[in-house]
């Protein structure tokens, strides 16, 4: 199952089913009226959800967004950030954050090198939460204002990457 990115930035990610151990534990689980066998797996595992909704800022979101981005173009080379791409990406993130009611498309269309900016943003995502936090602080230092939260930054990066891939 693929990761799905919703328009509001949330991600629907697949959930791996709990591991089941064969043998005597299966019999104990089947006869346990409380639904908990010796291996700790409940009888209700057959009803366990197969997907999970992740919101920006939630644990695992950055990794899932990075996986979603790779899923969009699995043949893409690993992200490489250039100085000019990172600078343009910082300006873009600041512009989008400064005008949250405006569409992202015009800001993306104004990029001189959209590929380099996209690569820089992908590189930030691959670095995880701390890389996103550091990037947000770097944006605030370069562009002025208070740093965005990791949640806000990740959501904007997702919107920009979605627009770049459109």
β-pairing, 51-54 with 11-14? antiparallel
8-22, 101-115, 125-139: least confident range: 8-22
* Confidence grade of residue 138 (pLDDT, cut at 50, 70, 90): very high
Q: How remote is the C-alpha of 26 from its chain's centroid?
A: 37
**Tens of pLDDT, residues 90-128:** 999 999 999 888 888 999 999 999 989 999 998 898 888
Q: What is the pLDDT of residue 137?
A: 93
Count of alpha carbons within 13 Å of 114, Cβ hemisphere only? 15
pLDDT of 46 higher than 60: no
| Whole-angstrom distance, CA of residue 5 vs CA of residue 120 | 20
CB 65 within 8 A of CB 158: yes
pLDDT of 72 higher than 90: no
| Whole-angstrom distance, CA of residue 144 vs CA of residue 91 | 10
Q: What is the pLDDT of residue 43?
A: 47
pLDDT of 144 higher than 90: no
13-17, 20-24, 124-128: least confident range: 20-24
Average pLDDT over residues 32-53: 57
pLDDT of 41 higher than 50: no
Q: What is the pLDDT of residue 100?
A: 85
Share of the chain above pLDDT 90, in %: 19
Backbone φ and ψ of 72, nearest 5° = -65, -30
| Whole-angstrom distance, CA of residue 63 vs CA of residue 59 | 9
| Whole-angstrom distance, CA of residue 108 vs CA of residue 29 | 55
**3-state class (DSSP) for residue 19:** coil
Q: What is the pLDDT of residue 140?
A: 93
């Amino acid at each position: 199952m693929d990761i799905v990115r919703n328009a509001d930035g949330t991600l629907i990610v697949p959930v791996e089913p709990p591991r089941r151990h064969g043998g005597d534990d299966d019999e104990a689980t089947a006869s346990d009226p409380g639904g908990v066998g010796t291996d700790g797996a409940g009888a209700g595992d057959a009803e366990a959800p197969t997907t999970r909704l992740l919101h920006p800022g939630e644990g695992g979101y950055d990794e899932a967004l990075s996986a979603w981005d790779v899923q969009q173009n699995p043949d893409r080379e690993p992200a490489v950030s250039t100085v000019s791409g990172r600078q343009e990406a910082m300006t873009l993130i600041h512009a989008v954050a400064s005008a949250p009611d405006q569409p992202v498309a015009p800001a993306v269309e104004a990029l001189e090198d959209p590929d380099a900016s996209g690569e820089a943003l992908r590189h930030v995502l691959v670095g995880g939460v701390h890389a996103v936090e550091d990037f947000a602080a770097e944006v605030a230092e370069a562009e002025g204002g208070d740093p965005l939260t990791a949640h806000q930054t990740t959501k904007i990066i997702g919107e920009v990457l979605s627009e770049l891939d459109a």
